[in-house]
Amino acid sequence: MKFTTQKRIAGQLLKVGTKKVWFDPEKLTEIKEAITKSDIRSLIAGKFIKIKKAPSQSRSRARKIRIQKRKGNQKGPGARRGKKTARLSKKENWMAKIRTQRKLIRELKQKNLIENLVYKNLLDKAKGGFFRNKRHIKLYLEEKNLFKKNA
């Protein structure tokens, strides 16, 4: 059986191409008898003629990779795209670094290990990017003998 006319009319009514039109295989005889647009409209209303769903891209591989990445796999240099700053921006990196340094300096002051003047000096140096990390701050204090004598 040929359904070229029915497919063409259904495509016009559904505003899709003829390849996207689906006919109910159980109602093919009724569809074959439908010649006018009104006949096709009634079949569309009766859900015997529908638009085929567009094929979508499978997400199964993406899900597998996401599970692997949660485990820490597939994160090596070969899997990375773009610059280092694309994954962790310079600002976020700076924020993380300065927060840990300021926290250490604050704790040293609260434990009375450094004087107020040294505390302010350390904060200024940290803000200026002088210290690389927490260890560098401790090293600096030991080299310059800035820890309080009584502590």
> Looking at the whole model, is its pTM more than 0.85?
no
Amino acid identity for residue 100 in this structure: T
* CATH assignment, 87-143: 1.10.1200.60
Amino acid identity for residue 16 in this structure: V
Q: Which residue has the higher pLDDT, 17 or 1?
A: 17
Q: 């008898």: which residue's tokens?
A: 33
Find the helix or strand (DSSP H, E) in which 147 lies: none
Amino acid identity for residue 109 in this structure: K
Both tokens assigned to 129: 């990017």
Q: What are the residue boundaries of the structural domains of the chain, listed by start?
A: 4-51, 87-143
pLDDT (tens digit per residue) in 16-29: 999 999 999 999 99
Q: Give CA–CA dist 105/3, Å, rounded.
A: 81
pLDDT (tens digit per residue) in 54-111: 889 999 999 999 999 999 999 999 999 999 999 999 999 999 999 999 999 999 999 9
pLDDT (tens digit per residue) in 100-127: 999 999 999 999 999 999 999 999 999 9
Amino acid identity for residue 10 in this structure: A
Q: For residue 151, name the pLDDT band (cuts at 50, 70, 90).
A: low
Handedness of CA 41, 43, 44, 46 (dihedral sign): positive
* CATH assignment, 4-51: 1.10.1650.10
